[in-house]
Amino acid sequence: MENVLGDSLTFTSLLFLALALLLALSFEFVNGFHDTANAVATVIYTNSLKPTYAVVWSGLWNLTGVLLSAGTVAFGILALLPVELVINVGSGAGFAMVFSLLISAIIWNVGTWYFGLPASSSHTLIGSIVGVGLANSVMSAGHTFGDGVNWGKVQDTLLALVVSPVIGFVCSGLLLLLFKLVIKNRELYAEPDKSKPPAPWIRALLILTCTGVSFAHGSNDGQKGMGLIMLILIGVVPGIYALDLHMSGKDVASIVSQNQAASAVFHRLAGSDPVSASDASDTLNAFLKNSGKVTPATYPSLEEKNAEIGTALAGKTSIAQVPVGDRKALRSNIYLVSASIAKLVKKKALASPDDATALNAYHKALDKTTNFIPVWVKVAVALCLGLGTMIGWKRIVVTVGERIGKTHLSYGQGASAEIVAYGTIQAADIFGLPVSTTHILSSGVAGTMAANGSGLQMATLRNILLAWVLTLPVCVFLGSMLFAFGLRIVAGLGLH
């Protein structure tokens, strides 16, 4: 079926597209069981809002957070994936990757939710991605073990995921102590009366903190599903989703100008040995792997691919003027050049500071053409988060409210944990780091219990910590096994 997308869509590819989108939205639905449920835990548990109102209110602010998000976290998640699978996501191996990482993440999230254990959707997804990368490195010719994983990005992400619960525990405890020092109202620190709502000022405080966490969750966690949905759309219908067709003419003109300046830099660094287009792609693919290093062919390859970008954009005043059939190839070239420049700058491989500054600005301009998320994708993700919370909130709310400390969660403890969660998630969002709302809020509640001298239910904490520790290795295993199995299926179906 030929269409305006410039792709020949068979029934099989349409079926894969529908299933992949359904899985991605299902992941966000299950994400609502965990992370969004944490956002409403305090207002529901303290009777500040009835469950239905709390979920709807939280859902609206999740939607707002998703709509206002810049997409930094979404594309940070995609940077963890093997380069060759990202570029060829419309291939059979690309579909196997998407299906395996989403199915493994959903399996673990549903399992931990069933037992009432607040687990991290971020951890599950990242573990699954690492599993796919490891399996891809084993099953692909010419790869060394672990070559398919962006270990630098994994390290940055894991650092954020490990440090954020510590921040939640310590800062929430300290904030509660500060509250006690400044605010002497005993009702703030008493066990909630489940038969009536708290005083209006306390109720307003808790609704405000719930609003903040919901907004922050949408702006950070919601992006993970958005990134995967974009990957699916780019692979199957690149005619519309490979490039931002609504980019302004001014931005396109700026890219064309910077492209010419970058070509001069690459030509000077390349010497006089040209390379073919296919060799250039192979060279940059190898460079972008974890073990990739600058070789004599790196700069000639960048010169070649950058020239292809310049040719594709020559005389264009908008991205929409690029022929439909050329958009996927243009995106691949932009991805290779932009990611290679970013790695050169990060590794300080460019001797001239002026070259580094100019190329880094060019890399950021190129990213604008590919790092975009349509409004309908944001709305779909937000709706799935809200629906998931409506259905699955109760198990997690009871755990957070009653099973972490030996006393029930007080108003002050809930407010302290949510204020710190909001601040931590917003900071992570600025730096494009995916963090776990579940980890920050649950550890924040534990921190307030410790600071209050309430005591902790060690059996519950042990189970939660065990789930946290097992999340990564289990999802790595599931992701790798499902990817290997998926490759056999797509090979059997004749997809390449």
pLDDT digits (tens, 9 = 90+) for 299-334: 999 999 999 999 999 999 999 999 998 998 999 999
Distance CA 272, CA 291 (A): 26
pLDDT digits (tens, 9 = 90+) for 45-104: 888 888 888 888 888 888 888 888 777 777 777 777 777 677 766 677 788 888 898 999
- Split at pLDDT 50, 70, 90, the class of 141 is low
- Looking at residue 2, its pLDDT comes to 39
User: How confident is the model over 267-273, as a mean pLDDT?
Assistant: 83
Enumerate the H helices of 4-80 as residue ranges. 11-31, 37-45, 51-68, 72-78
In 362-424, DSSP assigns E strands to none
- Looking at residue 387, its pLDDT comes to 84
Distance CA 208, CA 415 (A): 9
CB 67 within 8 A of CB 467: no
- Split at pLDDT 50, 70, 90, the class of 159 is confident
* Percentage of residues in the chain having pLDDT higher than 70: 93
Rg of the chain over Cα atoms, rounded to whole angstroms, equals 24
- Looking at residue 90, its pLDDT comes to 65
What residue type is 192 in one-letter code?
P
Distance CA 345, CA 327 (A): 27
pLDDT digits (tens, 9 = 90+) for 98-128: 889 899 989 998 998 888 877 777 788 888 8
pLDDT digits (tens, 9 = 90+) for 26-47: 988 888 777 666 778 888 888 8
Nearest CA to 425 out of 435, 417, 415 is that of 435
Residue 372 DSSP symbol = -
Distance CA 469, CA 158 (A): 12
What residue type is 210 in one-letter code?
C
DSSP helix/strand/coil, 8:
strand
CB 369 within 8 A of CB 243: yes
Stated pTM of the model: 0.80
Pairwise pLDDT comparison (387 vs 152), residue with the higher score: 387
Distance CA 124, CA 142 (A): 29
- Looking at residue 219, its pLDDT comes to 80
DSSP helix/strand/coil, 273:
coil
What residue type is 35 in one-letter code?
D
Distance CA 198, CA 437 (A): 25
Q: Which of 135-139, 214-218, 416-420 has the highest mean pLDDT?
A: 416-420
Domain map of the chain by residue range? 11-236+373-492, 245-370
Please determine, for residue 5, whether its predicted confidence score (pLDDT) is greater than 60.
Answer: no
Distance CA 431, CA 252 (A): 26
> How long, in residues, is the chain?
496
Helix (H), strand (E) at residue 389: helix 375-398
Angle at 197 between CA 398 and CA 392, to 5 degrees: 30
pLDDT digits (tens, 9 = 90+) for 418-469: 999 889 888 877 776 777 777 888 899 999 999 988 888 888 888 888 888 8
pLDDT digits (tens, 9 = 90+) for 12-28: 778 888 888 999 899 88
Q: What is the mean pLDDT of the chain?
A: 85
Distance CA 186, CA 179 (A): 11
Q: Which of 114-128, 156-170, 219-233, 270-284 has the highest mean pLDDT?
A: 270-284
Please determine, for residue 6, whether its predicted confidence score (pLDDT) is greater than 50.
Answer: no
Q: Report how far apart the first and last C-alpha atoms of the chain are (Å, whole number).
A: 19
Nearest CA to 452 out of 184, 205, 203, 174 is that of 174
